[in-house]
Each structure stands twice: as C-alpha cells, then as structure tokens.
Amino acid sequence: MQHADGRVALEQGRVDAWSGLDPLMAGSEVQAGSRLLYRNVAFNTYGFLNTTERFATQHPDYVQRVIAAYEKARQWILANPDDTARLVAEEAKLPLEVARLQLSRNDFSTPVPGAQHVEALKAAAPILVEEDLVRKGTDVAAVIDALVEPAHASVVVK
C-alpha cells in the first residue's frame, strides 16, 4: 500500500495500524487523532547529496559550494525553528502544526556522513536484496562503504 493510501485506510478504520512516513504520519496525528505507536530512529536511512566521483574530482569547488549552501541552511534551521516550521508549512502546503511535528522528528545534528549513516544503510540493505532491487551477487555492504564519503562535507562543515 502506498503511504498516502495507508493513511486513508487507517483513518477510515480499514486497517488497525499503518507504517507511515512524515508528513503523512504527522498529518494523521494532528488532523485525525492517530496515535504513533512505535518509532525507531535507527531505521532512518537519511538523505544524502550525491555526485559522481568524476564530477567531484573535476569540480571540488562546486561540490563544496553546494555543501556550504546546505550547511548554511542547516545552521539557519537550528537557529530558527519557528521560522523553519512556517516556511515548511507554506512551501509544502501543510498545516503549521503538521510541519512542527514533522520537524521535531528530524535530527539536524550530524551533517557529515559517517558511521551511523553507514550502519543504518547496511541495516536496510537486506530489504534491497530481498526485493531484487540490486543485482544478484552484489556485495551491498561494500557498495555502501564505497559510496558514503565524508571528505567533501568535512571540509565545509565545522
């Protein structure tokens, strides 16, 4: 079931529980009184900025410039939580309470990819294999180790 369909099914009483993602879960809690039963932040697989090795090697200044912009935004978010919630609500067309709840679940404290990110990705890797989302025989753990590269962010993030 797609996440939006899961929310509707929960709110209509067609299912007793639903595993949802924000902002849908936050919206269901705020707008329909749904109750969060379980949350494990260790299951978070995070979001990453991606580039090819070739581009990063040929244009490290561009890579650092993009990361610096994200870091500036992260610092602003940390310093301005109320303004952040208002901005997210406006841009995502969400009620302010939903944006606040969603943002309260985000951790902006570890911006440089590292061991905790690798661990979370490796924990999710078996699902990729089970669902045939990676080529048979792929050493997913080795691929994750090769792809998660903190060097570019470490230069910019202080």
Neighbours of 27 (CB within 10 A): 22
**pLDDT of 81:** 97
- Note the pLDDT tens digit of each residue in 13-66: 999 999 989 999 999 999 999 999 998 877 776 788 999 999 999 999 999 999
Query: Do 104 and 85 contact (CB within 8 A), yes or no?
Result: no
Contact present, 63 and 48 (Cβ < 8 Å)? no
Q: Could you give the CA distance from residue 83 to residue 87 in angstroms, rounded to a whole number?
A: 6
**Model confidence, pTM:** 0.81
Could you read off the pLDDT of 68-104 as tens digits, one per residue?
Answer: 999 999 999 999 999 999 999 999 999 999 999 999 9
DSSP string across the chain: --HHHHHHHHHTTS-S-----TTHHHHHHHHH--------GGG---------HHHHHH-HHHHHHHHHHHHHHHHHHHH-HHHHHHHHHHHHT--HHHHHHHHHT---S--S--HHHHHHHHHHHHHHHHTT-S-TT--HHHHHHHH---HHHHHH--
